[in-house]
Amino acid sequence: MDQMDFELTKEVKAIQKETRRFARQEVLPRIKEEVFKRDLVSKMGKLGFFGCAFPMKYGGSDLGFLAHAVVCEEISRVDSGLRPLFNVQALTVAYTIMERGTSGARDKYVKDLVLAQKLGCTCFSEPNVGSDIASIETSIEDKGDYFLLNGAKTWISNGSVADVAIVYATFDGSLKHKGLCAVVVDTDQPGWTTQETPKLGDKSSPIAEIHLKDVRAPKENLLGVWGGGFKVAMSALDRGRISVASGAVGLAQACVDCSIEYANKRIQFGKPIAQYQLVKGSIAEMVSLTEAARLLVWRGVWLNDQDRPFTREIALAKYFAGETVVKVAGMAMEIHGGMGYSLEMPVEKYYRDAKLYQIGEGTANIMRILIADDALGIKKANRKRLHVPSEFRNLE
């Protein structure tokens, strides 16, 4: 690297401060209502929380991806269940449409998503397909005037509330990744039905199973080229890992914060448990892991902001941050003793929310494979990029 600067800019510090204020004043008081809160999402959109990586033309502030990561971390530090919004309103949906969409699709969807006037979702996963995206079974047919989609999607964040979806589908399953297409679908189309999925954590983020029966999408809604959906997916996932990794850091930081507070307050054997070496050791490990995860995330995001390849670095960051948050949430539970298990304290929620970070946007094993294949010289993770962020800055 030809330069190293750990100081956030004045503008990024300002939005970090504003996000922290919002999270403390508006999110925290309602933390026990573990449901989707449309009003909070609208406010986040209006305050520009989803727009950091977008040009003004699309409702953004052009602050860059590092600002996006910082904002996402601050929100997740209070409610990790709001973290998926940083993908479905920004990086995996709106940015993908801006990057790969026709000008018609960009104008129709991007600004509304960034401002949270419309809600988005990304549909990769299916009953028979998770990590192996090239095996997607949902079908897409070119009907001349429109595309026709049939199939089922599972585990779709925002699936039950979204107005706009990016659906990944195949026109010929035998072609595997070469048969994939990515298309934007309006969810008010006939044949689009959803059913919410109950789950362990992240409860302010609704998850749904989606059925598509003869759902239509206009031709101008194809992202990239026909059969180019796998490439669209891979760059969307790289970007999605920015939000997932920074969300994991925010949640890990919340575990550190509450553990320090509790350890200083809780008296056993006549003194605060913070004074016992074993507890101190846990705090030291939690702080170190969290700060190391943050630095890995910021390095990956910084490379992206510099238009440089970052697939390897963001996978490494996502992997490490995911492992960190699960470990640190467990340590926070331990420091809280029985109170960790209580519904009165936030720790049980942190513990439930943490696990997702080892699953979404590529499981821990998929990240391990990417990192190891790169290290062993089997397959280089970083490739020449089709598009870089500077192409979209100051977009007229």
Ligand X SMILES: Cc1cc2nc3c(=O)[nH]c(=O)nc-3n(C[C@H](O)[C@H](O)[C@H](O)COP(=O)(O)OP(=O)(O)OC[C@H]3O[C@@H](n4cnc5c(N)ncnc54)[C@H](O)[C@@H]3O)c2cc1C
- Nearer Cβ to ligand X, position 228 or 360? 360
- Rounded Cα distance, 209 and 189, in Å: 16
Among 73, 202, 305, 313, binds ligand X (CB under 6 A): 202
Which residue carries 């999270």 as its tokens?
A: 23
End-to-end distance of the chain based on CA atoms, in angstroms? 32
Q: Is 361 a catalytic residue?
A: yes
Cβ of residue 42: shortest distance to ligand X, in angstroms? 20
Decide: is 130 part of the binding site for ligand X (CB under 6 A). yes
Among 54, 147, 155, 310, binds ligand X (CB under 6 A): 155
- Restricted to residues 341-360, the positions that interact with ligand X (CB under 6 A) are 356, 359-360
All residues at 6 or more sequence positions from 17 whose CB lies less than 8 Å from its CB, including other chains: none
Decide: is 207 part of the binding site for ligand X (CB under 6 A). yes
> Does residue 269 contact residue 33 with C-beta atoms inside 8 Å?
no
Cβ of residue 238: shortest distance to ligand X, in angstroms? 14
Decide: is 247 part of the binding site for ligand X (CB under 6 A). no
Decide: is 124 part of the binding site for ligand X (CB under 6 A). yes
Among 363, 374, 393, 395, binds ligand X (CB under 6 A): 363
**CA angle at 297 for the pair 292 and 299, rounded to the nearest 5°:** 95
How many residues line the site for ligand X (CB under 6 A)? 20
Decide: is 156 part of the binding site for ligand X (CB under 6 A). yes
- DSSP line for 99-157: HHS-HHHHHHHHHHHHTTSS-EEEE--BTTBSS-GGG---EEEE-SSEEEEEEEEEEEE
- The active-site residue, picked from 34, 313, 361, 396, is 361
Binding pattern for the stretch 74-113 against ligand X, x by CB under 6 A and - elsewhere: ----------------------------------------
Decide: is 195 part of the binding site for ligand X (CB under 6 A). no
Decide: is 240 part of the binding site for ligand X (CB under 6 A). no
Residue 5: exposure state from Cβ atoms within 10 A (0-12, 13-18, ≥19): exposed
- Rounded Cα distance, 178 and 58, in Å: 31
Which uninterrupted H or E stretch holds 98?
helix 94-100
Cβ of residue 27: shortest distance to ligand X, in angstroms? 19
Decide: is 170 part of the binding site for ligand X (CB under 6 A). no
- Measured between alpha carbons, how far is residue 221 from residues 107, 194, 271 in Å? 11, 21, 64
- Rounded Cα distance, 35 and 29, in Å: 13
Catalytic residues: 361
Query: Contact residues for ligand X (CB under 6 A)?
Result: 121-125, 130-131, 155-157, 199, 202, 207, 356, 359-360, 363, 365-366, 369
